[in-house]
Structure formats: C-alpha cells, structure tokens
Amino acid sequence: MFINFIKLFIIFILISNCTLNKVVKHHGVHNLKKKNDKLKLSITNSNDVIAQFGIPSTKSTFDNEVWIYIERKMTSSEIKTLGKRKLLLNDVLILEFDDKGMLVKKDFFTKDDMNYLKISTNTTSVLNKKDTFINTFLSSLRQKINDPLGVKKAR
C-alpha cells in the first residue's frame, strides 16, 4: 500500500512538471514589425525612435548614422526532437538618419529574407608553396643555423 502511494506520488510529480504551453524566449524589441509601421520617412527623428524603440542594439556611423534593432523569439521544440530550439521570429530593422537626426531610410528584414545566402564557390590559391624562393631560402638558412659547420651532413 505504501509502495503504491510512493509510485503514484512520483508519477504525479513527473506529470505536474510537464507543461503544455511552450516556453518562448524573447530577445530584443517586442512587436518590432508593428512599431516599424508607425515610422515615417523625413518626419520621424532620432528622439522619436528612441522613445518608441529604446536604445538600438547596434549603432554605426558612416556618412549617415545607422541604427539596428533586433527581435528574436525562440522556443523549445517537441519532445521527439529532444528539446532542440526552434527559431520562431528573427526580425531586423535598419534605420538610417541624416546629420540632422531625421529618418531617411528604413529596411525591415524577416526570417524568410535572411534564408537566402549566396555562398561563394571561388577557391583561394595557396600562398605558401614548397617550391617558392622564400621557402627554399628559409630552409637553407634553418639548416645553416642548426648545423653551422656542416658536420651533421658529412656523417
């Protein structure tokens, strides 16, 4: 009787720790796509963007100032895949401001836009071939340093 109670208690503990709701890990700015729709070119300035989005994930300055905002959602997948993480959302918003702080350009990329990578099929040539002059010179120099009198070679 007591052993059956312990077995039921252990099964209850194991089942109660399982959840049907997926755990979603969120990184970056929430609702980036909706907030992006509110931005207007040549009307929105950098202060409006900071008020709406917060501090950007990345800032860079070239001719104009470029700010990058990221939103990423990941979840643990089903039991059959042993808890591997699955990417639900991966959005990137790139904003470009002029020297007066006005928004001049905005680009929005989703997960689908980022899947198309062009991988180069070009190969690089080998820079250090055995028959080069420098290799021959250095190997002879190494030989002279290791055996300055040529004694090892004469044996």
Domain borders along the chain are 21-118
Please give the Cα distance from 83 to 18 (Å, whole number).
13
pLDDT higher than threshold 70 for residue 153? no
pLDDT digits (tens, 9 = 90+) for 43-99: 989 899 999 988 888 888 776 789 999 999 888 766 666 667 788 888 999 999 988
8 A C-beta contact, residue 26 and residue 73: yes
pLDDT for the residue 104: 92
Distance CA(65)–CA(13), nearest Å, equals 55
| Coil/strand/helix, residue 58 | strand
3-state secondary structure of 61: strand
CB within 8 Å of 101: residues ≥ 6 apart: 45, 46, 47, 65
